[in-house]
A and B are shown apart, each in its own frame.
Chain A
């Protein structure tokens, strides 16, 4: 079972002080938060992808590549990578590059994005959201799994004999999750490929999450990837922790009341009753989240949203101390107890490589480095030409 955090990367005014961090402060805070997550023993840090203010993370692999160098152990992921508006060719390249630099400590979560205006900025149409997600991901899979890809689809220019570089590390593409809140088609997509399914249930009643997860599990089994209870499930979560319940509620309430997503709507009490948001003592958080598997079955990844609604960095770091120090160790123990042996952990690079070896597939062939098939030139040709130019200039 993996525990981690995911960040939306919003720049939000702290409602208690009226202060708004700058973009620079927010980006650096994300770095600090990710490093802190590793320090307190969490397994995953995932960044959102947004292309409009007030959000900063428009370039996830830049951030994650930097974090790869600054961390040693934590798995770097996304929540989510826009499979609709990003060119699948660029996703294939960027995340294969990240995978190499992070030495396999990376996976990613596909999502459609729900901000209508973003689509036309990238030449796309939100009404085609599902179809874009389906076609782009089908191409992305081929780009990672095959060389010399010839392909034609509806939404991007055709490819003829294209090989995406670098090739996935050890011949194994990063593990992929598909995130969706309400589209059965995306749960179906995750099931079809045997990929993970992440339900970001933080703004939704649990009954709805259960319905989606059960559907994905059923379809995962239908497509022959294993039993329904072996499907790879991730859930969102949202907590605010203080040693005492009263202190937690008192401190978090102004952030809740003014939060961009649910602020000025239901009361904190109503929302905590209806959604996984838990505001209270470490024990209350443990009790709530230890109960999630009773609803969705034993699952593989639990991500928490900790840095949002204008919470200052100092508070977020204190929250991570409590989450990593007091909550997650107990949750690990409680969720390990009674977990059937046939329920797998979330795939990692190491486990995927091992599975590949076990299936008798060796390390991938090196790409032919003799030349660029499009220009017919080799690197040595450039060197020779350079030498000649230098000689004639002498």
Chain B
């Protein structure tokens, strides 16, 4: 049994998907940084595409079915969560939001979360800050300072920095995708290393005493 469990959610749709690629890179960086702190880690990665039908069914029937149940248990019971979505029409994808919508509103409370997003151009990068971050703040998750956006161009690597920037290449490198992934992974690892996240309480383990409910002393 490893010291920490990191759940990874990718809302990418294509195969292979750059969203999944970013999710995997963030997970690698997190595991490496946990390792540097002497902690072993298990990574559980889920593609929302695989449970797309179950997500809609959950909205309609009110309960998770099939593989979705295991996914929810893994996510809410993890010590850290990496959540990565493509940006669709200015925001997280509908599939990603559907997943968040079926989470119990208290289930991510205090959960260390690292956010990532992908898009065609860097113009969408702030979607992470104006849509993703508030969403997880609402859920009282502990969101890492750094969130990572990867545009199509970013995947060509630092060597591909725009030639006309000339002497500014050094600062471009510093902001390149790779270094952002490393920084984000370090931040999530620091939070997850601090303490294991407590799994959601079993509602049947600590139901209130009925005399308390009745308001009797």
Binding site for B on A (CB under 8 A): 130-131, 134-135, 138, 184-185, 187-189, 191-192, 203-205, 208, 211-212, 214-215, 219, 261-266, 270-271, 274
With A130-B213, A134-B213, A138-B214 as known contacts, state yes or no: A185 contacts B63, CB within 8 Å.
Answer: no
A215–B204 CB distance below 8 A: yes
CA distance A192 to B214 in the complex (A): 11
Identify which of A192, A204, A211 contacts B204 (C-beta below 8 A).
Answer: A211
Q: Mark B54-90, 1 if CB is under 8 A from A, else 0.
A: 0011011111011000000000000000000000000
Q: Taking A184-B203, A184-B204, A211-B204 as contacts, is the C-beta distance between A265 and B61 under 8 angstroms?
A: yes
Is A185's CB under 8 angstroms from B56's CB? Answer: no
A153 to chain B, nearest CB (A): 9
Whether A262 touches B63, Cβ cut-off 8 Å, given contacts A134-B214, A188-B210, is: no
Known: A185-B213, A188-B213, A264-B60. A274 touches B208 (CB 8 A): no
Residues of A within 8 A of B204 (CB): 184, 211-212, 214-215
Q: Does B65 lie within 8 Å of A184, measured CB to CB? A: no
Count, chain B residues at interface, CB 8 A: 17
Does B207 touch A at the CB level, under 8 Å?
yes
The 3 closest A-B pairs by CB, nearest first: A265-B60, A184-B207, A192-B210
Asked if A266 and B203 make an inter-chain contact with CB atoms under 8 angstroms apart, the answer reads: no
Closest A-chain residue to B203, C-beta based? Answer: A184
B63 and A203 form a contact (CB under 8 A) = yes
CB atoms of B63 and A208 under 8 A apart = yes
Interface centre among B62, B204, B214, B215 (most CB of A within 10 A): B204
* Nearest chain A CB to B86 CB, angstrom units: 25
Interface membership of chain B positions 182-217, coded 1 if the CB is closer than 8 angstroms to chain A and 0 otherwise: 000000000000000000000110011010011100
Chain B residues near A191: list those with CB within 8 A.
210
| Beta-carbon contact of B213 and A205 below 8 Å | no
Residue of B nearest to A270 (CB): B65
A262 to B57: give the CA distance in the assembly, Å: 8
- The one of A130, A185, A262 in contact with B61, judged by C-beta atoms closer than 8 angstroms, is A262
A185→B57 CA distance, assembly (Å) = 27
User: Chain B nearest CB: distance from A222 CB in Å?
Assistant: 10
Question: Distance in Å from the Cβ of A309 to the closest Cβ of chain B?
Answer: 14
Q: Contacts of B215 on A, CB cut-off 8 Å?
A: 135
- Are B57 and A265 closer than 8 Å at their CB atoms? yes
**A184-B204, A215-B204 known; A203 vs B61 contact (CB < 8 Å):** yes
Chain A nearest CB: distance from B137 CB in Å? 23
